[in-house]
Structures are given as structure tokens and as C-alpha cells.
Structure 1
Amino acid sequence: MDTKTPLTFKVIDNPGTPNRELHIDFTQAFRSLSSEARVVQFRDHINNLQKNIAHHSQDDAARQGMVVILQVSKEILPFIEGDEIPLDETVVIIITSEFQLGNLANRGNTH
């Protein structure tokens, strides 16, 4: 997977609960770009993910992770385009026992 990405990801376990959190942050390099340059880089990021996904088999763990990142990135893109997201804050996605990242990856449309 291409490691040049505008995002960083962390999965946080919540002891005592079946839930986890996916923490998403924007890199400092991405935050320092102009609004227009951020849109271009974020679209490139999505295109690169789509290309990389095509080179992995369906059951490849790396592919599944890339699909999740792609889906999250597609959800964030309109906010990047509209300059409507605070880039210095962490986006947190709660992952419940009913919602697992692998299930999301298996359901995802990658094109």
C-alpha cells in the first residue's frame, strides 16, 4: 500500500466494552496545504487506494484495510471539497460489536 496519505489511523480498544474506536487524523503536511491543494491531494489519495486495491486478492488483509480506508476517505471527501472539516481535530468512528471493520471491507464497493 502506498504510505503517502493525508490521513493517519489508530484503532483504540475500549477495555470493558466490546467496542473499539477508529481515530483518524490529518497529517501536518496535509493541513499546511491550501484548500485547493488539499482537494487535489485527497482525490489523488482516493485514486491511489483504488489502484492499490485492484492489485490484492479479496481475502488479503491489506486489501480489506485499504477498502475501509477508501470508504472512510470517500465519506470525508465532500467535507474536504467544501473546506468544512476542522483539520486539527480527530475524527472518531465507534466500532460496535455489530459493526466490524472486516465486515465493512467485505461489503464495500471499491470502484
Structure 2
Amino acid sequence: MQIQGPLKFSVAAAGDASAGYELFLDFSEAFRQMDLAGQVAEFRNYLNYMTELLITSDLDEHNRQGMLVAQQIAEQLLPHVEKGELELDETINIHVRPGSPQVSLVDLVRQAQE
């Protein structure tokens, strides 16, 4: 499932399979071009959109878990977006260990790219 919004998720293997995965988060070009007030409004709308998808979409448990992880990441970023503290041109890198709940987000991103 592709989630439209200011964040773009991508994934890569972190060395060997036992090392887990790397999640990469980038802000969309359109988001980076907005002023701070526009970015805050867009990011809040994005969080509301994900909440609505989780409530109304017929997701299997695996995809629901991936969406929840994406939502939690966005919720953690919101205060920093609100304060303009993030370098929006830089990629955020998150290491995911094998067997962690975030692996479902990795799978969700892979499905969206196929």
C-alpha cells in the first residue's frame, strides 16, 4: 500500500540478512518547498490521513502493523517539523533489527514499490 504524503519511505538490506534492514525517510520536494506553516499543516493532515486509513481500510494485520509504525515515526517527527528543526534535504535512516515489529513496515514499503 502506497501512503501519499510528505514522507517517502524506502528500504534496503543492512549487509547480511541477519543484520536487519535500513529504512530511509525523505521529505517530498513539494513539502520542502512549503513555508513552515504550510509544512506543519501538511504534516498534521498526513497524520490524520494515516489515522483515517487505519480506521477505515480493510488491512490485514501485517499491513496494519506497518501502517502503525509509519504513523508512530511521523508522530515522533511532528514536534520537530513544528519547530522547523529538521534538515528536510537530508535522509533519515532507521536501522530495523530482524524480527522487530518494524519489519512489517519494511514489507509494506516493498509491496508499494512492486
Q: TM-score when scaled to structure 2?
A: 0.79
| RMSD over equivalenced CA pairs, Å | 2.2
Give the total of aligned pairs.
104
Task: Answer yes or no: is the 8 Å Cα contact 1:2–1:52 preserved in 2.
Answer: no
Which has the larger displacement, 75-84 or 6-15? 6-15
Q: Give the match for residue 19 of structure 2.
A: 18
Residue of structure 2 equivalent to 1:90: 91
Query: Of Structure 1 and Structure 2, which has the larger fraction of its residues in helix?
Result: 2
Identity of aligned residues (%): 32
Say which SS state the counterpart of residue 77 (structure 2) adopts. helix
Cα distance in 1 for partners of 2:13, 2:99 equals: 15
Higher relative contact order (CA 8 A, sep 6+): 2
The aligned amino acid for 2:23 is L
1:65 and 1:99, CA in 2 relative to 1: closer, same or farther beyond 3 A?
A: closer
Which consecutive residues of structure 1, in runs of 5 or more, have no partner in the other structure?
A: 105-111
> What stretches of structure 1 move > 6 A for 4+ residues in a row?
none
Stretches of structure 2 that go unaligned for 5 or more consecutive residues are: 106-114
The within-5 A match list for 1:1-111 is: 3-16=3-16, 17-56=18-57, 59-97=60-98, 99-102=100-103
Q: Distance in 2 between matches of 1:2 and 1:15?
A: 26
